Structure 1
Amino acid sequence: MTDSNATVGPAVKQLDKTLNDLLLDPVSSFMGRASGRSMEGVGIFDGDLLLIDRKATVKHNDVIVATYNGLFVCKIADMINNQLCSANPDNPPIKLTEHDQYSVEGVVTSSIRLFRQPTELPQINTL
């Protein structure tokens, strides 16, 4: 048996981006905290920090934040069928009708897993 020196754990890589680079446009971007489990299929977990761009144009299957009948929600925008979809098969799609109060607040551009939870960020339900 021979002895060898090996590094244990991931290597630290110097990144060329700053935290400010995560925000596409600080004037039109905002942050919120995900609440719930319905978006786990796209990698958004309860407590994650979401970076949202209000200026981005919503495209089919974008992950968005919207107000839906008084709730602030994070869903997948199904532009073809006019519905809001979860990334969890236990949650059926929400078909939007003329009776719903619905407004897109922005497109989710990034999510960040937090190990310490800030208390001052708004919660965004993933229903």
Structure 2
Amino acid sequence: MIRHKSQPLTFFTPKATNNSGAPFFDTGISAGFPSPAEDFKEQRLSLDKELIKNKEATFFARVSGQSMIGAGLDDNDLLVIDRSLEPTNNKIAVCFLDGEFTVKRLKVDKDEVWLQPENPNYPIIKITSDNDFVIWGIVTSVIKKV
């Protein structure tokens, strides 16, 4: 990945690989009683193929902050962002607002746009003509460490 630094998100671009993917067992992982080992059939899984639909328009960004914890986006999570998707009401978007990148839920009603955090400790932001505002891309997936 190639890294681009911007506050409060850190951006990365996908790096092309000829890797055939990691081992993948397509039988499901039991959260109850374990299945017999002979039932597993090993295949290869590419996370690029699973998570990236439009390679030229896809970027990754690391979350910094707590404003979207209610949507399951925690500090240091890795976002998959597709710039080719249409920004519509209720989508989670990465936006450029007044010189900074932010990730928020879009609320669109007629000609009005709000950026809604998913944490009650943060204010809803109403976008006005005074703002320098661009919807940069739509979040399609989040990658977490456990």
1:92 to 123, 130, 133: 123
Q: CA RMSD in A?
A: 2.0
- TM, length-normalised to structure 2: 0.67
2:97 to 47, 60, 68: 68
What is the number of equivalent residue pairs in this alignment?
106
1:28 to 40, 49, 57: 57
1:89 counterpart SS class: coil
* Structure 2 stretches lacking a partner, 5+ long: 1-32, 35-39
Query: Counterpart of 1:20 in structure 2: which amino acid?
Result: D
Residues 5-46 of structure 1 show CA distances to partners (whole Å, capped at 9, x for unaligned) of x65xxxx99677421121111111000000000100000000
- The residue that corresponds to 1:78 in the other structure is 107
1:27 counterpart SS class: helix
- The residue that corresponds to 1:19 in the other structure is 47
More helix by share: 2
Distance 1:52 1:92, change over 3 A: same
Query: Counterpart of 1:112 in structure 2: which amino acid?
Result: I
Query: Counterpart of 1:23 in structure 2: which amino acid?
Result: I
Determine which structure has greater relative contact order: mean sequence separation of CA pairs < 8 Å that are 6+ residues apart, divided by chain length: 1
More strand by share: 2
Distance 1:68 1:16, change over 3 A: same
Query: Counterpart of 1:40 in structure 2: which amino acid?
Result: I
What percentage of residue pairs aligned between the two structures are identical?
33
Query: Counterpart of 2:47 in structure 1: which amino acid?
Result: L
1:41 counterpart SS class: helix
Give the ranges of 4+ consecutive aligned residues of structure 1 lying more than 2 Å apart after TM superposition: 12-17
Distance 1:17 1:92, change over 3 A: same
Distance 1:19 1:75, change over 3 A: same
Q: Does 1:106 align with 2:137?
A: yes
Question: In structure 1, how many angstroms separate the alpha carbons of the residues matched to 2:42 and 2:105?
Answer: 33
